[in-house]
Amino acid sequence: ELARCGSGGIMWALFAGISIGLPPILHFGSEELKRKVGPPCLRGDKFICLAITEPWAGSDVANIRTTAKREGDFYIVNGAKKWITNGIWSDYFTVAVRTGGKGAKGISLLLVEKTMPGVKCRHMKCMGVWPSGTTYITFEDVKVPACNIIGKEGEGFRQIMYNFNHERWSLVCQSNRLARVCFEEAFKYAMKRKTFGKRLIDHQMIRFKLAEMVRQIDATHSWTENVTYQLQTMKKKEQNLKLGGTIALLKAQSSKVFEYCAREAAQIFGGASYVRGGVGEKIERMYREVRAYAIPGGSEEILEDFAVRQAARVAKKQAKL
């Protein structure tokens, strides 16, 4: 519903950080961490974000380089995180760090506070979702209490994966609603804009564009309803086994539909969609925001590959049975 405003940036500013940064603490953190971070974040007194992506590791989570070395009752954190949503105004960072060897088994999650010496944040100016507070964060010999570890050492990768289905589902809901906003704006504009003595809606090619847009939007919405029902009725373990690949494909589908609709809406608006302001303002903004849905949460290419690999693993296992 919030996506009706036609601004991904507004939604990301309000909910992106807390929706992915807080769940790891609520699911896996100690009671002390839950009491410290949960209530103030849920009240809106404090802000939190998830810091996983690095300049050299995006979808390839298992190869992050930020380190946390144990020294007595503290971890010493060094490294950098990039494209961190809400980071610039967050009080807490749920940070993926390397506490062990190479690969997924060496990753842990650690709660870092912005006030800790050695933490520096720089706002990044991006193509779209401007209000989201995208941030470049550096950690230089940051001394973090060992009690800020989320769960146990070496369990970070599993904890990160635990929330991926929900994060991707959320992006699906947003992007498909934004695609519908593109359609709605284009339809309303076509009903009143006149060219060559008649309304745009009276041109066959424009009607074709609108039909193609809503055909893809409604198909994606139906698929989303189907997956949402399964998320509500399956237990978490079953979701991860059966829905990971499906949600990955749905996320790729939704961002591609959003991109298609943003382009077609821009074509219907013509030059009005190329201006920041005026009747095509929403279309201009949403066109810039497409990449924010096609890449974060797993790029389209990574997700489609993941879905097929997961299906192959399940098929191989069933064949043995």
Query: Token match 């498909």: residue?
Result: 176
153 a catalytic residue:
no
Active-site position among 167, 264, 284, 289: 167
Name the one residue in this structure whose structure tokens are 């960072």: 93
* H-run or E-run covering 70: strand 67-71
Q: What distance lies between CA 296 and its chain's CA centroid?
A: 5
Point out which residues pair with 80 in neighbouring strands. 138
Torsions phi, psi of 69, nearest 5? -100, 130
Reference 8, options 193, 258, 302; nearest CA is 258
b/e code 197-223 from CB counts within 10 Å (16+ = b): eeebbeeeebeebbeebbebbeebbeb
Give 141's contacts (C-beta < 8 A, 6+ positions apart): 76, 77, 78, 118
- What type of residue is 57? A
- The residues annotated with a catalytic role in the active site are 167
